[in-house]
Amino acid sequence: MTLLAPRPVHPGRAQGHLPRLLAGLADGSRAGLHLHEATFGPLPLPAEPASAAARRAASRLIDVVERSGLTGRGGAGFPTGRKLRSVAAGHGPAVVVANGCEGEPASRKDRLLLSRAPHLVLDGVALAAFAVGASQAYVAVHAGEERLAAGLEAAVQAREVAGIDPVPVRIVRVEPRYVASEQTAIVQRINDGPGLPTFTPPRTHERGVGGRPTAVNNVETLAHLALIARYGNSWFRQAGVPSAPGTALVTVSGSVARPGVYEIELGTPAGEVLMIAGGPTERPQAILVGGYFGTWLPAEAAWPAPLSHPGLRSVGAAMGAGIIVALPESSCGLAETARVVRYLADESAGQCGPCAFGLPALADALADLAYHGGRGDAAERISRLIRLIEGRGACRHPDGATQLAGSALAAFGDDARWHGRRGPCHGVQRPPVLPVPGDVEYW
């Protein structure tokens, strides 16, 4: 089922082969409107968006997205079609927000899309706006990313001149901190509030920007939507696996020969993705999957794990924003985790108990274990703190941090015992692998 007559993506690539989102960008260029349309064809929107036929087409588009099995690429993997349907069912004109903040320090995929394929994202914004009956759309990026924002503003302007978009699109800059890119925080920011997560309900899809039903979607999710609207749900499902269809952008870093952003079919084993990124430069001891709310997996468990929400769930991990970091054997996983949990504690809004008190205490306990040996009972103290923090925040921030800390205790259990008996290992003196903003930049 397709919205309009499909055009094949790059003849010969219509069978689900890669690349999809990154098609046409092989030479490292930025796709302007002309190259974008030459690659993917024009935006498939009806000429008269207010007609009864257009309303039927909008409902059909949501059907297509639901059948495609597209899930959000911003972290939680929520079904995109279901989100669009609930926003479309809300009262009054809706709002669409494209989340391009990419608050995960180890992620580069959204910046890559926004800077190199802005029109694919903006097509997705236009199509989502059409699907939910929106009258306004926003693209949120971190304040300070001025080149990115200026490039997007130029792309929006080019589309205005060409009369492409059905609704006005505004670029908004949000504070560059981890929790500020959570969806309710972005909505608050657009509503001229403090830009911190709010306590739900009402949920964003019911009452978001200006009190209107609001769809917040990750920019990669919207780029997939732009292709699904053109080529249909069956085409989308030709890549990936039945339980996790389509492709995803992953950011691979750590001890690999070619760190970077890669488009993969969902379900590809993590080890294969590391090989696509040039293979390990040093034997990996563990792989961080999903980002800073993610999971450390011992290398041998991670290697065969299929990169998809269901595939990773079976090994106790999650896709998150598609981040994979290979930790070399010479590094200290406990020290890496201590640094990141400290960062997450510092970044929280401090509005709720678990963030105000729990995360700083957890960061202290992890640092004590990593750098001072932890006086014997550190692992138990950390486990106790995790149990105290879990499930008590207004947003997922504290649970994300405890997931990371808990997985570190499991993956680096032997190291924790070593630190307890003999003090910190040599790995704590190695340059950090995981990037932390404000720290030395390792990219």
Ligand X SMILES: Cc1cc2nc3c(=O)[nH]c(=O)nc-3n(C[C@H](O)[C@H](O)[C@H](O)COP(=O)(O)O)c2cc1C
The binder of 130, among ligand X, ligand SF4, none, by C-beta within 5 to 8 A per type, is: none
Instruction: Report the alpha-carbon distance of residue 204 to residue 201 in Å, rounded.
Output: 8
Residue 291 contacts which entry, ligand X, ligand SF4, none (Cβ below 5-8 A, type-dependent): none
Q: Which is nearer to ligand SF4, 260 or 360 (CB)?
A: 360
Tokens 């992953």 belong to residue: 250
Minimum CB–partner distance for residue 319 and ligand SF4 (Å) = 21
- What track of x and - describes contact with ligand X for positions 173 through 202 (by CB under 6 A)? -----xx-xxx-------------------
How far is it, in rounded angstroms, from Cα 107 to Cα 284?
19
Q: How far is the CB of 347 from ligand SF4 (least distance, A)?
A: 8
Instruction: Supply the minimum distance, in Å, between the C-beta of residue 99 and ligand SF4.
Output: 16
Count Cβ atoms within 10 A of the Cβ of residue 192 and give its class: 0-12 exposed, 13-18 middle, 19 or more buried.
Answer: exposed
Q: Which residues contact residue 236 at a Cβ distance below 8 angstroms, ignoring those fewer than 6 apart?
A: 68, 69, 70, 224, 227, 228, 245, 246
Binding partner of residue 349 among ligand SF4, ligand X, none, CB under 5 to 8 Å per kind?
ligand SF4
Alpha-carbon distance of 205 to 83, in angstroms, equals 7
Residue 110: CB minimum distance to ligand SF4, A: 20
The Cα 135–Cα 395 span in angstroms is 28
Site for ligand X in 292-321 (CB under 6 A): none
**Alpha-carbon span 75 to 77, nearest angstrom:** 6
Instruction: Find the binder of ligand SF4 among 93, 351, 360, 430 (CB under 6 A).
Output: 351
- Cβ neighbours of residue 157 closer than 8 Å, sequence gap 6 or more: none
| DSSP secondary structure code for residue 433 in this structure | S
Sequence-ordered strand ranges (E) for 114-273: 134-142, 169-174, 214-218, 240-241, 244-245, 247-254, 260-265
Give the phi and the psi of residue 254 in degrees, each rounded to 5.
90, -145
The one among 73, 342, 397, 419 contacting ligand SF4 by CB under 6 A: 397
Q: What is the per-residue binding string for ligand SF4 in 366-395, x denoting contact by CB under 6 A?
A: ---------------------------xxx
Question: Cβ–Cβ contacts within 10 Å for residue 431, how many?
Answer: 7
The amino acid that residue 352 corresponds to is C
Q: Residue 45 or 179: which CB sits closer to ligand SF4?
A: 179
Q: Which residue is at the shortest CB distance from ligand SF4?
A: 393
Partner interacting with residue 217 (select from ligand X, ligand SF4, none; CB below 5-8 Å by kind): ligand X
For ligand X, which residue has the nearest CB?
A: 72
Positive or negative: CA dihedral 169, 194, 202, 204 = positive
- CA neighbor of 223 nearest in space, from 128, 292, 332, 92: 128
Partner interacting with residue 166 (select from ligand X, ligand SF4, none; CB below 5-8 Å by kind): none
Query: Residue 358, interface with ligand SF4 (CB under 6 A)?
Result: no
Quick one: which segment of 7-15, 26-34, 100-108, 146-154 binds ligand X (CB under 6 A)? 100-108
Nearer to ligand X, 75 or 232 (CB): 75
Residues 6+ apart with CB under 8 A from 78: 71, 72
Q: How far is CA 196 from CA 36, 134, 403, in A?
A: 35, 24, 22
In this complex, which beta carbon is closest to ligand SF4, that of residue 222 or of residue 349? 349
Of the residues 98, 179, 190, 378, which one makes contact with ligand SF4 according to CB under 6 A: 179
Question: Which range binds ligand SF4 by CB under 6 A, 107-115, 238-246, 318-326, 346-354?
Answer: 346-354
For residues 23 and 13, what is the distance between their CA atoms, to the nearest angstrom?
Answer: 9
Which residue type is seen at 374?
A: G
Closest among 165, 226, 207 to 21, alpha carbons compared: 226
Q: Pick what 87 binds: ligand X, ligand SF4, none; C-beta below 5 to 8 Å, kind-dependent.
A: none
Binding interface with ligand SF4 (CB under 6 A): 179, 197, 348-352, 354-355, 393-395, 397-398
Binding interface with ligand X (CB under 6 A): 72-76, 78, 99, 101-103, 178-179, 181-183, 216-218, 221, 395-397
